[in-house]
């Protein structure tokens, strides 16, 4: 039985910024490109409202929209024993959530990227391999997202510093993060292990450094993503989520689900790094992977 509801825990898990010492919060809205905080959240009442017009309601509806999960799953995020009671089966009315996304045309400038991406250690060969592009209007790096059959179904924008949220996904109202695993079209061949990260750039960074990797575009593993990953021809999955509370909660919930199909391990990122992309020294990165911990 679920008990001990905690909406702050749910927001932490979803990566939505909030102040833990306040009952009422005003923060940038995660449902639209918000340059000024417009999302009001009342943790005690469990309600939200976007003053810019995205809507309002119970917090489970916000989490459902943001994470692209069912209301039932979103509601369970608010309980401390959620991780132990995670294994849900969808009814027939949920089957449409797993239908393939429609292929799209990439509407951004190809073979051009913002200069800051080179400062992070990425090289031209990697950017060509993954098909990076550029949003001329916003100055954002654009990362194409393919499905497991190599069809272009969406994109992730890494926006310039100072813009929130840092990442935007599109096409809006069409693309669903929960239906794809970034890099799955490149990762289905047999390898010693496949790394799972939160973000696309984390996966690209690992790939550039010689490690097979995919990204689930967050810390929540959907049932559709579980099905895609379960088809991988590998002996081991290495969880490489971020070095923060949300990432660690994600590891706790994902590991028992993927243990049904693979040997599962996790890396321990040194405290001075926030994620694998932050580890620029290839020797240190390799050592972190070698010293992974098995469940």
Look over the chain and give the mean of its residue pLDDT values, rounded to a whole number: 86
Q: Indicate whether 103 belongs to any domain.
A: no
Preceding amide of 93 cis, omega within 30: no
Q: pLDDT tens digits, residue range 263-282? A: 999 999 999 999 999 999 99
Are residues 197 and 117 part of one domain? yes
**At residue 173, does pLDDT exceed 50?**
yes
Mean pLDDT of the 158-169 span: 81
The pair of three-digit structure tokens given for residue 179, joined into one six-digit string: 């239906």
- Domain stops at, among 26, 59, 88: 88
Q: pLDDT tens digits, residue range 182-194? A: 999 988 666 689 9
Q: In the chain, what percentage of residues exceed pLDDT 90?
A: 55
Residue 59: other Cβ atoms inside 10 A? 23
Q: Indicate whether 96 belongs to any domain.
A: no
Are residues 290 and 164 part of one domain? yes
* 70 within 8 A of 64, measured Cβ to Cβ: yes
Mean pLDDT of the 221-248 span: 90
Report how far residue 151's alpha carbon sits from residue 42's, in angstroms, rounded to the nearest whole number.
41
pLDDT at 189: 67
Per the structure, the count of domains in the chain is: 2
Angle, helices 223-230/245-258, rounded to nearest 10 degrees: 60
Task: Round the CA-based radius of gyration of the chain to a whole number and report it.
Answer: 19
pLDDT at 85: 41
Are residues 75 and 116 part of one domain? no
The pair of three-digit structure tokens given for residue 31, joined into one six-digit string: 């449902």
**DSSP secondary structure code for residue 219 in this structure:** S
Q: Indicate whether 101 belongs to any domain.
A: no
Are residues 253 and 163 part of one domain? yes
Q: pLDDT tens digits, residue range 90-144? A: 333 344 455 778 999 999 999 899 999 999 999 999 999 999 999 999 999 999 9
- Domain stops at, among 54, 88, 122: 88
Report how far residue 97's alpha carbon sits from residue 61's, in angstroms, rounded to the nearest whole number.
17
Are residues 36 and 139 part of one domain? no
Are residues 274 and 206 part of one domain? yes
Of 69-83, 108-122, 148-162, 202-216, which range is least confident?
Answer: 69-83
The pair of three-digit structure tokens given for residue 121, joined into one six-digit string: 């250690």
Mean pLDDT of the 228-245 span: 92
Report how far residue 85's alpha carbon sits from residue 211's, in angstroms, rounded to the nearest whole number.
33
Are residues 84 and 116 part of one domain? no
Q: Indicate whether 255 belongs to any domain.
A: yes
Are residues 154 and 220 part of one domain? yes
Q: How confident is the model at residue 16 (pLDDT cuts 50, 70, 90)?
A: confident
Q: Indicate whether 150 belongs to any domain.
A: yes
The pair of three-digit structure tokens given for residue 162, joined into one six-digit string: 């100072």
Residue 124: other Cβ atoms inside 10 A? 12
Backbone angles phi, psi at 206, to 5 degrees: -60, -40
* 289 within 8 A of 267, measured Cβ to Cβ: yes
Domain that holds residue 137: 109-294
**At residue 171, does pLDDT exceed 80?**
yes
Q: How confident is the model at residue 285 (pLDDT cuts 50, 70, 90)?
A: very high
Are residues 132 and 63 part of one domain? no
Which CATH number characterizes residue 132's domain? 3.40.1360.10
Cα separations (Å) of 80 from 4, 12, 84, 262, 274?
Answer: 6, 12, 9, 26, 25
- Domain stops at, among 88, 119, 153: 88
Which CATH number characterizes residue 78's domain? 3.90.580.10
Q: Indicate whether 39 belongs to any domain.
A: yes
Q: Indicate whether 260 belongs to any domain.
A: yes
Of 158-167, 197-206, 261-270, which range is least confident?
Answer: 158-167
């Amino acid at each position: 039985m679920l008990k001990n509801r905690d909406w702050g825990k749910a927001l932490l898990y979803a990566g939505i910024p909030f102040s833990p010492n306040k009952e009422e919060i005003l923060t940038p809205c995660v449902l639209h490109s918000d340059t000024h905080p417009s999302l009001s959240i009342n943790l005690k009442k469990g309600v939200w409202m976007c003053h810019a017009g995205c809507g309002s309601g119970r917090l489970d509806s916000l989490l459902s929209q943001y994470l692209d999960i069912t209301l039932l799953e979103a509601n369970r995020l608010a309980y401390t024993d959620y991780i132990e009671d995670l294994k849900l089966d969808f009814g027939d009315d949920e089957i449409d959530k797993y239908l393939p996304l429609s292929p799209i045309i990439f509407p951004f400038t190809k073979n051009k990227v913002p200069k800051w991406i080179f400062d992070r250690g990425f090289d031209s060969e990697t950017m060509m391999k993954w098909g990076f592009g550029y949003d001329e209007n916003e100055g954002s790096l654009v990362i194409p997202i393919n499905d497991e059959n190599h069809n272009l179904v969406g994109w992730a924008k890494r926006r310039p510093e100072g813009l929130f949220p840092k990442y935007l996904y599109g096409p809006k109202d069409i693309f669903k993060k929960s239906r794809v695993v970034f890099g799955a079209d490149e990762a289905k061949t047999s390898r010693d292990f496949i790394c799972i990260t939160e973000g696309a750039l984390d996966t690209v960074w690992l790939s550039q450094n010689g490690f097979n990797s995919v990204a689930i575009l967050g810390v929540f593993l959907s049932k559709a993503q579980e099905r895609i990953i379960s088809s991988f021809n590998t002996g081991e999955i290495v969880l490489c989520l971020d070095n923060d509370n949300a990432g660690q909660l994600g590891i706790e919930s994902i590991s028992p689900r993927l243990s049904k199909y693979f040997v599962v391990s996790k890396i321990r990122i040194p405290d001075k790094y926030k994620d694998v992309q932050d580890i620029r020294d290839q020797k240190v990165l390799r050592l972190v992977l070698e010293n992974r911990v098995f469940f």
